[in-house]
Amino acid sequence: MIGMVAWAIIRYPFQRRTAKIAVTRSMGGVGDKVLLILAVAGQFLIPMFYVISGFPAVADYAFRPVQAYLGVAAILMALVMFRLTHKQLGNNWSITLEIRQGHRFVTDGVYRYMRHPMYTSFFLLAAGQALLIQNWVAGPVGLVSIAALVLGRISREEKLMIDAFGDEYRAYMRRAKRIVPWLI
């Protein structure tokens, strides 16, 4: 829960700031909004509901300290990465897929090693949650919904970036992987 609050605090100023900047190109659409709603449900609403109600208790399993330590470590890494990506994307960030007025193509900082480090932070947060919540449904549901969001939008996002930045983005695709540096 502390992780969720920290997440919202990190994002809030960027949401306010970018709301004022005009969008020049968009590839969000209804599909992306549906995926976002599913991600919020899987990552926040269902786990919160479980924490408050204890449902579905049949899927509970025993507490293992090592799992909890790993979970806290994953959430801390997620928050650091989430903050870094917001700082580096700055006014170019959007909750959906958009190119804004004066959009700058960012390839420095963590973007040097991955094309989608913010999605890496989503996966880290979801993995932390899966480790911390000892329930076979409420634990991993965030991982499933984040995987759906990222798989559902990543190719369209890259097409949008190629439309906007052309060969510069194509060259970037050759030097940086998507989610895990040097791997995927």
Q: 99 vs 57, 65, 93, CA distance in Å?
A: 44, 44, 9
Q: Under the criterion CB under 6 A, does residue 43 sit at the interface with ligand SAH?
A: no
Query: Contact region for ligand SAH (CB under 6 A) — 8-16, 38-46, 68-76, 87-95?
Result: 87-95
Task: Work out how close the CB of 33 gets to ligand SAH at its nearest, in angstroms, rounded to a whole number.
Answer: 14
Among residues 99 and 125, whose Cβ is nearest to ligand SAH?
99
Cα Rg for the chain, rounded, in angstroms?
17
Q: Contacting ligand SAH (CB under 6 A), which of 3, 42, 47, 117?
A: 117
Query: Contact region for ligand SAH (CB under 6 A) — 63-71, 97-105, 130-138, 140-148?
Result: 97-105
Task: Work out how close the CB of 92 gets to ligand SAH at its nearest, in angstroms, rounded to a whole number.
Answer: 4
Per-residue DSSP letters for 46-66? Answer: HHHHHHHH--SGGGB----HH
Q: Under the criterion CB under 6 A, does residue 32 sit at the interface with ligand SAH?
A: no
Q: How far apart are CA 80 and CA 10, in angstroms?
A: 10
Q: How far apart are CA 117 and CA 114, in angstroms?
A: 6
Q: How far apart are CA 150 and CA 77, in angstroms?
A: 19
- Where does this chain bind ligand SAH (CB under 6 A)? 85, 89, 92-94, 97-99, 105-106, 111, 116-119, 157, 160-161
